[in-house]
Amino acid sequence: MYAIICDARKGKNLGIETLALVDRGKSKKLWWTSDQTDLILGYRKKSAAEFALSRLHLNNPRIVSLDEAERIIQEQRDDILDKECVGSQEWDDHKIWR
């Protein structure tokens, strides 16, 4: 299985460096996630992931294995939890597109 990740534009001060493409069947609120591994869109075929990737151009989008995407997002979430930023409004503000 494959997933698409990209570099985060916002949230660097919270330790957010990577985002994973969200399965829109699971959440209509988000396109990308920085902390929820259960929302990551998994592609069975690499060709399907490559087609989706061809429509994305900003922030260094790339294809990785689904396992690697889940590991990256989980490690990022764990690092953020260690910094105790989750309770702050800033944690949710980084998800808002402005």
Mean pLDDT in runs of 10 for the chain (98 residues)?
93 84 92 92 96 94 96 88 59 54
Q: Residue 36 domain-assigned?
A: yes
How confident is the model at residue 16, as a pLDDT? 87
Total domains in the chain come to 1
Domain membership of residue 39 as a residue range: 2-93
DSSP state of 29: S
Q: Residue 76 domain-assigned?
A: yes
How confident is the model at residue 14, as a pLDDT? 76
Q: Residue 8 domain-assigned?
A: yes
Q: Residue 98 domain-assigned?
A: no
CA distances from 32 to 17, 18, 73 (A): 12, 10, 11
Beta strands in 1-98 (DSSP E): 2-7, 18-21, 32-33, 62-65
How confident is the model at residue 90, as a pLDDT? 55
Q: Residue 13 domain-assigned?
A: yes
Q: Residue 25 domain-assigned?
A: yes
Q: Residue 47 domain-assigned?
A: yes
Q: Residue 80 domain-assigned?
A: yes
